[in-house]
Amino acid sequence: MKWETVIGLEVHIELATKTKIFCSCSAAFGGAPNTQCCPVCTGMPGSLPVFNKKVLEYAVRTGLALNCDITRYCRFDRKNYFYPDLPRAYQISQLYLPFAENGFVDIKTRSGKKSRIRIHEIHMEDDAGKLVHSVEGEFTYLDYNRCGIPLLEIVSEPDFRETDEVTAYLTKLKSVFEYLGVSDCRMEEGSMRADVNLSVRPEGSSKLGTRTEMKNINSFRAIERAIAYETKRQTEVLENGGKIIQETRRWDDVKGQSFAMRSKENAQDYRYFPEPDIPPLYITEDEINHYREVCPEFADEKAERFVEQMNLTEEDAEIITASKKLADLFEGTVKLCRTPSEVRFWFMSQLLYLMNENNIHADKVTLTPEKFAEFIGFINSGIITRQTGREVFEQIFFGDENFDIAAYIKGNNLEQVEDSGLIEATVQEILTANPKAVMQYKNGETKISGFFVGQVMKKLKGKADPSLVNKAVAEALDKA
């Protein structure tokens, strides 16, 4: 029997507000344990929450970007459960009246397949704290800094059938959040993570199977592995005559397995009721129109414009616009030097190479459009060649905004050699040293001329004008 995998996602993103959702504690990542919490976010008796309106702005902007209907009237609810990292024993969330519903995201997988993923709802809630287990497994420490960090939970319909669709969807969401500026989406810091709801059913069946939920997976690779493992596990259980239990499972990325944690709760298990300490929220038509007007140009739109205006290929445009910071760097540089093809060359061949080679995230790139354009100016004016330019670009990439390009070029004697006499003498030297290669050229192997050009450029340390070298080599070989 052939089986079909059915997947739905609950994606959590931490919002990039300066303070928490219901108190004035810092929401910054990385503080010393238990230094960014107060009686409100640790649930002390008598403390009262005060809603951070910036959270609502970020939430509405996200809902609009994901094509959702914005609820004009929404409210918070108490979700009652006890875990050590949730000290007040309930989470403030939205069950009955979430702020956004009925959205969708259009995706394209790596194979080029296009599909639309429906979004059931998006709701606001606060995050729990963090459990830190000792190496020996003997103790568990509590860090309440994350309690009260504002979260959005994006709940999809069960529209995914393959892992590539999940990856494309998460990539699209990550891009939207970054372009909006509502979250840094640093999965390694937990600011974007996903719960995977998965079931299998006989291919062609319209009835959903019993699902399991794998909680808080925080990397694309781990999500892909978890889906593959859980699909295989459920298929084997059913083929052996067993039944799938509706449960919450923990994904262990080191072991490459999921493990049962608890039976899956339903809404009634959490005893939801309206949050009595926070009044309902009213979102006006004017507010919605304002947030719609200030929506940025997203990656898809920007990539399309780059193709039309800058003659980029679709593939290059998609790579460049995958990160808002890098897209802004590219566009800002082009505006200053007006040579998009040259900027594209250095962006694709050197910038991305240095980032990948040194494991540098886009957020950590310090190169400015001004410095990038200044470098392109030295290339376009012929002061340095592309070959020596690689050395200069690396210095700029790792340097600061005060790095003096002209001084570095001069101090390291990197100016382009345009002395035709020197070039011709070097060509003759190379031909004399390689008589067999010269004979091959005379016997009709004309492609070997590239060998001579390379040797001349190497001898002159990449500083010679390539056009002068090519001309000198051609003339010398014809006379040989």
Q: For the purposes of burial, counting CB atoms within 10 Å of the CB of 63, is it exposed (0-12), middle (13-18) or buried (19 or more)?
A: buried
Q: Check residue 265 and give its pLDDT.
A: 66
Tens-binned pLDDT, residue by residue, of the chain (480 aa): 899 999 999 999 999 999 999 999 999 998 999 999 999 999 899 999 999 999 999 999 999 999 999 999 999 999 998 888 888 899 999 999 999 999 999 999 999 999 999 999 999 999 999 988 888 778 899 999 999 999 999 999 999 999 999 999 999 999 999 999 999 998 888 899 999 999 999 999 999 999 999 988 989 999 999 999 999 999 999 999 999 999 999 999 889 998 888 776 677 788 999 999 999 999 999 999 999 999 999 999 999 999 999 999 999 999 999 999 999 999 999 999 999 999 999 999 999 999 999 999 898 999 999 999 999 999 988 888 888 899 999 999 999 888 999 999 989 988 876 657 767 777 778 888 888 887 787 777 778 788 877 887 787 777 777 777 787 777 777 777
- Helices marked H in 144-219: 163-180
Q: Check residue 69 and give its pLDDT.
A: 97
Q: Check residue 418 and give its pLDDT.
A: 66
Nearest to 85 by CA among 38, 144, 34: 144
Query: What is the spatial distance between Cα 319 and Cα 386, in angstroms, rounded to a whole number?
Result: 22
CB atoms within 10 A of CB 85: 16
Q: What distance separates the 2 farthest-apart alpha carbons in the chain? A: 96
Q: Check residue 476 and give its pLDDT.
A: 73
pTM for the predicted model, two decimal places: 0.85
Q: Check residue 451 and give its pLDDT.
A: 86
3-state SS class at 434? coil
Half-sphere exposure in the Cβ direction for 393 (13 Å, CA):
24
Q: Contacts for 343-346 with beta carbons within 8 Å, 24 or more apart?
A: 343/372, 343/376, 344/310, 344/312, 344/316, 344/320, 345/386, 346/372, 346/375, 346/376, 346/379, 346/389, 346/393
Q: Check residue 129 and give its pLDDT.
A: 93
Enumerate residues 6+ apart whose C-beta is below 8 A from 71: 97, 98, 99, 100, 101, 283
Nearest to 27 by CA among 55, 59, 57: 55
Q: Check residue 1 and give its pLDDT.
A: 83
Enumerate residues 6+ apart whose C-beta is below 8 A from 188: 218, 219
Cα distance between the two ends of the chain: 74
Q: Check residue 437 and give its pLDDT.
A: 80
SS (H, E, C) 56-109: HHHHHHHHHHCCCEECCEECCEEEECCCCCCCCCEEEECCCCCCEEEEEEEEEC
CB 17 within 8 A of CB 52: yes
